[in-house]
Chain A
Amino acid sequence: MLTNMWNWFPGWSQTVIIDLGLIIVIVLPLMLGVAYLTYAERKIIGYMQMRIGPNRVGPRDWLQPIADALKLLLKEIIVPTNSNKFLFLLAPVLAIGPALAAWAVIPFSDTLVLANIDASLLFILALTSMGVYGIIIAGWAANSKYPFLGAMRSAAQMVAYEIAMGFALVGVLMAAGSLNLREIGLAQAGNISDWYLWPLLPLFVVYFISGVAETNRAPFDVAEGESEIVGFHLEYSGMSFAMFFLAEYANMILIATLASIMFLGAWHPPFDVAPFTWIPGLGWLAVKVCLMLFFMLWFRATFPRYRYDQIMRLGWKVFIPVTLVWIVVIGGAIFLSPWGDVFH
């Protein structure tokens, strides 16, 4: 009977329903991941600073993220006077929308990819470049000085690091010869020595640090540094604020996933022998993503905040030259050196 009902739907709507189901299968674990990333962040930084971290709600505080979400839901959404109300409420949507939509093209394993478009990497770069709108509009619509100043700074920082990020990606494309993330992952099949981490090490470092700066995370978090200036989401409260929070953490996971796919051999195990190959590809990808996320949290616990002029200097004067030089080096390696076949 169920199949009868199913066949009753016209062809295209069947596809839409199946896609919708798959999207929910991606988004729900992502939301859960975000919730427990905030938990992991507080616990890990807590232990690094010889504290216990949160330990009240539920066994070992497992329910803290749920409690946080409920609390934010029950808080008043304050829309300041003189603000531009529609844009003020639109900004969180513009922050979270691209952060989620980028996940459409992420390959979770050799076969698990929702939309296997040819230019998936370019698509992600385009969508992440839209994240800056959420910030600029949030700062402007509030019609308040500090958010505006914070938004301008965040925006200038994000665009500076986007360049470095884009140049770093060019190196990956040269090595893999494809814009498709699945093919980039497949090109790194084999052992740990086949990962792009080794030939593209400078680009990996640039990409990962730029990713941290793109998401406005510590040590590049001048936008929300208490001692510097309060950030673009100063006037936000309740669920509207939660959306920015969600977007930031979803972006962190996105950066970690992309770094794993492009440099850490994607879903391939480090050694292509028996005990390692028992774990499915999705598991290996998850392990790598968690490792990258752990590094991000570690950065926050360890490094003092950069000053704004230092941030801009690092982005423009260090990362861009490094990536440019390395692009030339890779090109030279492909054409001139006997090691050209490092990249298959």
Chain B
Amino acid sequence: MLENYLPILIFIIVGVLVGVIPQVLGWFIAPQRPDSEKLSPFECGFEAFEDSRMKFDVRYYLVAILFIIFDLEIAFLFPWAVVLREIGMFGFVAMMLFLGILVIGFIYEWKKGALEWE
């Protein structure tokens, strides 16, 4: 099994190198003429007048939390889908119960307006 993972490891290293090498090349080949106006952050032509790292709507956290929960659901669904024919009706009903419980949560989200983006 492990021999199959060696090419993946090499591919990840190659992928990182493909990201690094052009930037290094660009750093050396391209001109470097910085000035303070060029390097200032973009602000529609104004001087930046506020710290750019601002507080955000709590909604983004909620989306991220719900994402984790649904991602876990997917992690549970994957092995189930693969062995569905072997575990038969029992496994199918077990997953339907699992999904049923989570659909209750989904309906709760929906009714509470957690999925609303106003």
Binding site for B on A (CB under 8 A): 15-16, 19-20, 22-24, 27, 72-83, 89, 92-101, 103-105, 114-118, 122-123, 125, 129, 140, 142-148, 152, 156, 159-160, 162-163, 166-167, 169-171, 173-174, 177-179, 230, 234-235, 238-240, 242-243, 308-309, 312-313, 316-317, 320-321, 324, 327-328, 331, 334-335
Residues of B within 8 A of A312 (CB): 63, 115, 117
Contact A95 B19 (CB under 8 A): yes
Bound state CA distance, A59 and B18, in angstroms?
29
Known: A19-B6, A93-B19. A100 touches B56 (CB 8 A): no
Residues of B within 8 A of A114 (CB): 7, 11
Contact A75 B41 (CB under 8 A): no
Interface residue from A15, A92, A156 paired with B19 (Cβ < 8 Å): A92
Contact A77 B30 (CB under 8 A): yes
Known: A23-B7, A97-B18, A142-B41. 14 other contacts (CB 8 A): A74-B31, A77-B26, A81-B36, A93-B20, A118-B1, A143-B52, A156-B64, A159-B64, A163-B71, A170-B74, A179-B82, A239-B22, A312-B63, A313-B116
Interface residue from A24, A116, A142 paired with B4 (Cβ < 8 Å): A116
Residues of B within 8 A of A22 (CB): 7
Residues of B within 8 A of A129 (CB): 71
Residues of A within 8 A of B103 (CB): 324
Contact A166 B60 (CB under 8 A): no
Known: A115-B7, A143-B53, A159-B64. A122 touches B78 (CB 8 A): yes
Contact A234 B26 (CB under 8 A): no
Contact B38 A78 (CB under 8 A): yes
Size category, B interface = 35 or more
What is the chain B residue whose CB lies nearest that of A340?
A: B85
Contact B117 A313 (CB under 8 A): yes
Interface residue from A144, A169, A174 paired with B43 (Cβ < 8 Å): A144
Contact B23 A240 (CB under 8 A): yes
Known: A75-B26, A160-B67, A163-B71. A23 touches B10 (CB 8 A): yes
CB proximity of B67 to chain A, nearest CB, Å = 4
